[in-house]
Structure 1
């Protein structure tokens, strides 16, 4: 499984890269803020909502600490998606937040 540090993610965000971030946390966790532009798909909804994703795009998955997003990465990799897990999740992320 590919992984990325929060520093690597922040560098990509600072460079205005076109990123596809998927936040797999629960609704109450997302209320505390998300990475700007992140799409919210709770972990339990990933199998049912995988058709919303495009296999030609790369995705970065994030959760609170990195474990749930790793599980989502494993599942999506098996389905043929290009996914990267954010190490340490939102607990390690100290960049800008977006509130929805």
Structure 2
């Protein structure tokens, strides 16, 4: 299995603070995102990804986030197999100390 790109929570926070336009996708469940998401992130539950592939473009990079980095890693492997440009935020929201906003 091909390695997937990874980004740390700190690296992602710095990119967002610099104003970079990023595609951050939170794949947690509804009750998890209710406690707060990374500002600008889009919420698509992990189980909904296969039915919402039309929302992803192959020429853009997507950074996936979950609680600990495991589910988002699985999503990354799945989408990378289909030819998408993906990156996993390792450590998930447990590692995130930046701003969060309620969904």
TM-score by length of 2: 0.95
**Structure 1 match to 2:8:** 5
Distance (Å, rounded) in 2 between the aligned partners of 1:75 and 1:96 = 29
SS of the aligned residue for 1:60 comes to strand
- Mapped pair 1:43 → 2:52: no
**Structure 1 match to 2:98:** 95
Distance (Å, rounded) in 1 between the aligned partners of 2:42 and 2:58 = 16
Distance (Å, rounded) in 1 between the aligned partners of 2:53 and 2:44 = 9
- Mapped pair 1:17 → 2:8: no
SS of the aligned residue for 1:32 comes to coil
Taking only aligned residues, the RMSD between alpha carbons, in angstroms, comes to 0.6
Q: Which runs of 5+ in 1 are unaligned?
A: none
SS of the aligned residue for 2:97 comes to coil
Distance (Å, rounded) in 1 between the aligned partners of 2:28 and 2:53 = 16
Q: Where does structure 1 differ by over 6 angstroms across 4 or more consecutive aligned residues?
A: none
TM-score by length of 1: 0.97
